[in-house]
Amino acid sequence: MVVKRYSNRRLYDTETSAYVNLEQIAELIRSGEEVKVVSVSDGDDLTRAVLLQVVMEQRGGAGLFPTGLLHRIIRFGGDSAFHRALNQQLSVGMELLDAQLVRFERQFGWMRPDVPPAKRADDAAPEGAAEPAAPPEARPPAEPSPPPGDDAAAELAALRARLQALEGRLDDR
């Protein structure tokens, strides 16, 4: 579904030919719709900005970011090396979280029952992601799995160490 955003910040649902607000966009997404928001003036994709606005204003997302982090983002904004590294770390962290949630939902069957799987954009596993495990009732009897290769084991150990360090930093706040 395409929603057009006008210069006065009004949002127009092209399927229903009606103006919508942020809460209605949230409802569409909860019902399984994939929403794309485009600027009427230049055709730019504004989906990320509008969905972030929905999260921040409608879903209480302001609590996702500690005040200190927001100060740092603003203080070191611009084109500094710190700002670029911060943006990259935040982006990668959020992408990893999203990929994990997709796998978790599939593994435990926690997708919304009223949303047909074909309507979910995240049904395609992220690039490089492992296939989700089958539900417990569909799994064959457990067999010992072969140990991962040296490269995979080293990468997994490095990721675990990095995650532990990040969790430690969060606990310190």
If DSSP codes are grouped into helix, strand and coil, which group holds residue 64?
helix
Report field, pTM of the whole predicted structure over 0.85? no
Note the pLDDT tens digit of each residue in 69-88.
888 777 877 777 888 888 88
Which of 128, 136, 114 lies closest to 159, judged by CA?
128
Q: Average of pLDDT values for 31-36? A: 90
- Provide the pLDDT confidence category of residue 149 given band limits of 50, 70 and 90: low
Note the pLDDT tens digit of each residue in 87-104.
888 889 989 999 998 898
CA atoms within 13 A on the CB side of 98: 13
Report the alpha-carbon angle 90-96-98, nearest 5: 100
**Average pLDDT value for the chain:** 77
157 — phi, psi (to 5°)? -65, -40
pLDDT at 96: 93
- Give residue 167's region: left, alpha or beta (phi > 0; psi -120 to 50): alpha
Share of the chain above pLDDT 90, in %: 26
Count the residues in the chain.
173
